[in-house]
Chains A and B, each alone.
Chain A
């Protein structure tokens, strides 16, 4: 390190209820440097950065910024020291305008009144300098995810942050938007600001960072200059073992059409179309990947298939039978396995036990239910069998589901939904937030379903996942498929163009 660090964390430890999130971590970043913080989910990246941002107080360790030691009691202290952070889940106020979101809590231009004109001028200069286009007078609620991220970055820059932390900033962006973000980050580094980039995506880290610090299990596994390493080496450092080879894809011919969606339309309360004429046919032994930038109707599409929303027009057939819409139970009875995006909300009742969660779709059927009675013992017996079959790590089937890890929660959903040979499997963001091991497991189970003869719809924001699993890829844009192609012909660039609305 030629230049002295802009900020330096030494010996940081943080525990939550006995779980160690950070264990004696040393980390520093130099002026003008883009440093990636790489690691699996749960490796402690976000906790470490929340400590630097003053959101958590470390149990041990010191923070230095520009050589001075700081003890941040709240984000306000970190902001004053020049630290800015863009959280993965944005901290914006949707009904307020962009400008209001940016100037909240700032003091310049007078202590009492809001000086919108002066603020707007300063904001415009920042936007110009860093290529962050967004209309300052629009309510944030109307903005796309990419635009919201720009607001968050502007919020930090408006406070003169000399260190900008970004937590998984590309998770919600399309490839073209990622390019725009990287351009901005490079401009920031050229000005001498430090950028800390939290990610678990190797390609991006290799592209944007100067230096990579790899966290594993709350400790620094190692660090490398990007010029001296490879994606493969980083992957090994990240998971701590040889990465498995690509999953084998069984070569099977698709069969007859099982799921047929025709002209599906849905509008919101204001009459804005959310789904704008979706047609989709999925055959037995076929995985259709639904790609798209988040917010282009994928979620609503799944909700209609799950029976959670009633479309304004359209039909769905499973086999030869028309499928009654808006009735969740009907989806179940028609043989659809539902793996929802919102695991803790729609997928499970986290305050109920593992066993109760496993019988949610059969509690009223023999042998678990008979008449008005519910047989705990039979439910638990069934549950033990499923927990065993899916390798769910739990202290017992009477444990409350909330206590399981993310990967085990997802296994619980799979164990419930994939029982009984479903004809259709709809999986929405099935590996979001999971670590590599759990991800591989989920992928394998999805491929098993395909091999068994199910028609699979895989909705995912993760292009790598779609490219890896799908036989055919459909791209959603503004509520309908804008294009499709066989997976064999697809690559990130082609998909990226479709995702940004450029039809092939």
Chain B
């Protein structure tokens, strides 16, 4: 174990941290935008599964990875449009609708996958994304190869974090989204279309969740398995709370999870006499502990979970 913490190990760990955080960040940003507009999208896990499956099949048939990503985003958008119809327009319970969509999308994804590829003994694979090395920066010792030899989608995820923050806090539309999530009546009385705003936020969020899923089958792995998402949607959901509904803080949570996930992969390979299932569990356990510590001072969007209707009296 003396050579455990070598520089190669550290470089590898940092690189793995960013890579494992990537799908969480996409999904977390998607959830965050939805919740900031007042809709809790528990369809997140199923939306990621669907994004992973549709992205994979698209690439498998067309050979284009970018088309795969786009199709994953589109599938996510469609599912969250369904979520919008149920919760925004029909005013149904957000918990039930979201869980329903997750169950529905997970089953449907598996069904469609079987329809398309049957049940071969060896599942089909694609040529996944390769990492993009950024010249000069990637030759910085230790952190260079860790930070600047990553998948394009990983760069995009980290670029999106400040962009979403900028959108929420510096643009007109961002202020509208935040107001809709805090007090839809206030938004309505200054002429904002509350339902349209919520629908658009859900759809943008769904697209991000779909991309997060597609990352798993097009970069992280090169095949679709039913448990490919493995609860990452729920972790992303937890990160939104952990980050107090702020993109940058939630990203820190996602990184923490990525670090633990990267670490557990490495510990599995060590000669410790602990079953590997334990290490698989650790990141999720830490997520719960982090939530307990943080969520006491959580500032939940005030209108989260509340459908908005105008003709109600009083």
Contact = CB atoms under 8 A, between A and B. Distances in A.
A87 to B, nearest CB: 7
Nearest to A77: B191
Interface in B167-192: 170-176, 178-179, 182-183, 185-192
B4 to A, nearest CB: 45
Contact of A112 (B171, B179, B188, B189): B171
Contacts of B191: 74-76, 79-80, 105
Contacts of B170: 113-114
Interface string A107-128: 1001111100000000000000
A85 B172 CA distance: 22
Given A79-B190, A104-B187, A93 B172 contact: no
Contact of A96 (B178, B192, B193): B178
Query: Interface residues of A: mostly helix, strand, loop or mixed?
Result: loop
A155 interface: yes
A100 B175 contact: yes
A159 B191 CA distance: 11
A94 interface: yes
B162 to A, nearest CB: 15
A75 B189 contact: yes
Contacts of B192: 76, 104-105
B271 interface: no
Contact of A85 (B186, B189, B310): B189
A91 interface: yes
A16 B185 contact: no
Query: Interface residues of B: mostly helix, strand, loop or mixed?
Result: helix
Nearest to A56: B311
A87 B188 CA distance: 13
Contact of B189 (A91, A95, A100, A114): A91
Contacts of B185: 91
Interface string A60-100: 00000000000000111001100001010001111110001
A92 B174 CA distance: 16
A76 B186 CA distance: 12
A101 B186 contact: yes
A103 B176 CA distance: 10
A105 B183 contact: no
A93 B188 contact: no
Contacts of A106: 190
B299 interface: yes
Contact of A16 (B171, B179, B313): B313
Interface string A1-40: 0000000000000001000000000000000000000000
B182 A87 contact: no
Contacts of A130: none
Given A95-B299, A104-B179, A113 B310 contact: no
Contacts of A91: 183, 185-186, 188-189
Contacts of B172: 107, 110-114
Nearest to A100: B175
A93 B186 contact: yes
Given A56-B311, A93-B178, A105-B176, A113 B171 contact: yes
A53 B190 CA distance: 10
A55 interface: yes
Contacts of B299: 95
A161 to B, nearest CB: 11
Nearest to B191: A76
Interface in B79-131: none
Contacts of B189: 53, 55, 75, 85, 87, 91
B182 A114 contact: no
Contact of B188 (A74, A94, A107): A74
15 contacts: A55-B310, A56-B311, A74-B191, A75-B188, A75-B189, A76-B191, A85-B189, A92-B186, A93-B186, A104-B190, A104-B192, A105-B192, A112-B171, A112-B172, A114-B174
6 closest Cβ pairs, A-B complex: A76-B191, A105-B190, A91-B186, A93-B182, A93-B183, A91-B189
Given A16-B313, A91-B189, A114-B172, 16 more contacts: A56-B310, A79-B190, A79-B191, A85-B189, A91-B186, A92-B186, A93-B179, A93-B182, A93-B186, A94-B182, A94-B302, A96-B179, A106-B190, A112-B172, A114-B174, A159-B190
Interface of A: 16, 53, 55-56, 74-76, 79-80, 85, 87, 91-96, 100-101, 103-107, 110-114, 155, 159
